[in-house]
Structure 1
């Protein structure tokens, strides 16, 4: 993991993360749910935008609370952060999914849990792969200089 990335590179990495996830999830979820590809693509993009917005709001709030209460950033805080973030996303996402796809809240919840289970390894593999490719490109650039 490389800490010295520019804001432009971080934006590029985040957009790549979301675009690849949408390209993988849309056809897979359309097939699982028996829904049209366009409809599932629209809901996938909507959930990605919701997650992006929630990420900005939640992380800003969470960081302010840690600072205000002088709480150290340890493993337990990271676990609480992950659970609260995902819990909030489920609370907002499940009704949206149920409404958009005309399914029950239970079906939407199960779909959301399935997507979460996809994103756990996907996040790890994507960021690892990005860092490996980036390192090779940086090393090639340095060697050619």
Structure 2
């Protein structure tokens, strides 16, 4: 992927993730959409920054080729990332939505589980749609098709 497509992929992923998270929280809570929107945009922004910070620190702590990391190392990386993110976002969500820590934790865990499944589905669909578009473009390369 070229940098512009990576940017498109990341923005599309985040816009859909935030939108779907807001809709899900609207269905299961009684919080107004304005508060949920602000909260989810803030949480997504923190997650992106935390991702860069955490993974830079993790790469220093666990040197070597990333593709050679063991399954257990990858599990520890995910647990460390998500655990750190929860420590940051649960109190923030509690404050922004005026709820207790337990309710904020339950909402945050729900969003985290949703995002995990969503990321799998989104990337699967994106990759297959991208491949189909590229095949279509390659099949039409060199052919001038005028609209009828």
TM-score scaled to structure 2, two decimals? 0.89
> Aligned equivalents of 1:131 and 1:122: distance in 2?
14
More moved, 99-108 vs 20-29: 20-29
In structure 1, the residue matched to 2:30 is: 34
What is the count of residue pairs matched by the alignment? Answer: 139
Alignment of 1:124 onto 2:112: no
Could you give the per-residue CA deviations for residues 2-47 of structure 1, whole angstroms, max 9, x where no partner exists?
xxx1122111111111100111111221232201111101101000
Gaps (5+ residues) in structure 1?
A: none
In structure 1, the residue matched to 2:75 is: 79
In structure 1, the residue matched to 2:60 is: 64
* C-alpha RMSD of the superposition: 1.4
After TM superposition, give the deviation of residue 77 of structure 1 in Å: 0.8
Gaps (5+ residues) in structure 2?
A: 142-148
Alignment of 1:93 onto 2:89: yes
Could you give the per-residue CA deviations for residues 74-116 of structure 1, whole angstroms, max 9, x where no partner exists?
1111100100000000000000000000000011001111111
In structure 1, the residue matched to 2:46 is: 50
TM-score scaled to structure 1, two decimals? 0.91
